[in-house]
Amino acid sequence: MNNSSISVTTKFAIGDDLLVNRIGYGAMRLTGQPGNFGPYANWEEGEQLLRRAVELGVNFIDTAEAYGPGFNEEIIASALHPYPEDLVIATKGGINKPTPDNIQADGRPESLRRSVEASLKRLKLEQIDLYQLHRPDRKVPFAESIGALAKLKQEGKIRHIGISNVTLEQIEEAISIVEIASVQNRFSFSEHTNQDILDYCTQNKIAFIPYGSLGAHPLKRGAPLATSEGILADIAVQKGVKPNQIALAWLLHYAPNIILIPGTTTISHLEENMAAASIVLTSEELTALNQF
Ligand SMILES: NC(=O)c1ccc[n+]([C@@H]2O[C@H](COP(=O)([O-])OP(=O)(O)OC[C@H]3O[C@@H](n4cnc5c(N)ncnc54)[C@H](OP(=O)(O)O)[C@@H]3O)[C@@H](O)[C@H]2O)c1
């Protein structure tokens, strides 16, 4: 069998003009717990972690109004503003979260406008590089939510529009209204439920930003793929790295439009996750991983 190394590109241009490194950082966990609610308890440590992420080459950070709510965007601004020129902060709106366990979709145009304006203020930005609809609101026609974001883009408050937790039909509907630069759905080594959506994004050069790339449940601590037995662990041992790093490296090899946003609250995990960018997998290893 051919066992050549497969090299992967390390960057992807979101919306054709925001060139980012393909391992970014998902900031959601820098919030109060439980429920990703309230300010992060170790605020200064959180700021340090964000600065370290940028030092390590992160230039894509994913957040949302719903994380905190508001506090997650605030810690990013307090750690990193004035921002490095190449830093892309992607935020999301369209969810109201009055209490830790009460999450309500709100895709009304007037709510999205209010959310964009509040995010601009918290993030201290004039324009949001990538604004994602956090989740479709069943009470509001999808086209109305997307239309509202298209208007905000026209006004210059948003540079690019992304969508999250969507179906293929919703992606096609959104694209018929306005250019869609990214899709953020769950996907990981152990969870391929959104394979059709990833394929569609790859074919159409849309950034695919999988969440839960280490297999985590959004409201629970721990990365199931970091401790897994089996093929991830076997290849990790051979290469002298950790299974979670193989899970991330596999995603980078899987499709060129995947941008990773692993979440962590510890600098050592952050460093480990970033190091996955330089892991080269061979065709034999990829075949074994793809058969899983
Ligand atoms: N669009 C949506 O609806 C949606 C939903 C959920 C999440 N997201 C986005 O996706 C991002 C990532 O999601 P996520 O944080 O839920 O899942 P994840 O990236 O799969 O995993 C994060 C969990 O893994 C642990 N971890 C991270 N690196 C590790 C390592 N090297 N070794 C061992 N454990 C490690 C973290 O704990 P430690 O803190 O101990 O490292 C944390 O508990 C979020 O920050 C958010 O931006 C989006």
* Tens-digit pLDDT profile for residues 9-55: 899 999 999 999 999 999 999 999 999 999 999 999 999 999 999 99
**Any idea which residue has 């080459």 for tokens?**
57
Q: Whose CA is nearest to atom 38 of ligand 1?
A: 264
Indicate the pLDDT class of residue 1, thresholds 50, 70 and 90.
very low
123: DSSP letter: H
Q: Is 211 in the pocket of ligand 1 (CB under 6 A)?
A: yes
> Catalytic pick from 67, 131, 211, 254?
67
Q: Whose CA is nearest to atom 45 of ligand 1?
A: 26
Q: Is 228 in the pocket of ligand 1 (CB under 6 A)?
A: no
C-alpha 151 to ligand 1 mean position (Å): 32
Whole-model pTM: value is 0.98
pLDDT of residue 225: 87
Q: Report which of 17, 6, 4 is spatially closest to residue 182, judged by C-alpha positions.
A: 17
67 is catalytic: yes
- Residue 69 in this model has a pLDDT that exceeds 80: yes
Helix, strand, coil abundance in the chain, percent, nearest 5: 40, 20, 40
State which ligand 1 atom lies nearest to the alpha carbon of 28. 45
- Report which of residues 221 and 231 the model is more confident about: 231
Indicate the pLDDT class of residue 276, thresholds 50, 70 and 90.
very high
SS3 category, 90: strand
**Residue 72 CB neighbours (<10 A):** 27
Q: Is 261 in the pocket of ligand 1 (CB under 6 A)?
A: yes
- Arithmetic mean of pLDDT over the chain: 96
Residues pairing with 128 in the sheet: 158
pLDDT of residue 108: 98
Alpha-carbon distance of 215 to 233, in angstroms, equals: 15
Please give the average per-residue pLDDT across 184-213, as a whole number: 97
pLDDT of residue 2: 57
State which ligand 1 atom lies nearest to the alpha carbon of 27. 45
Please give the average per-residue pLDDT across 151-158, as a whole number: 98
Please state which CATH number belongs to domain 18-222+258-263: 3.20.20.100
Mutate to test the pocket of ligand 1, among 214, 241, 266 (most ligand atoms within 8 A of CB): 214
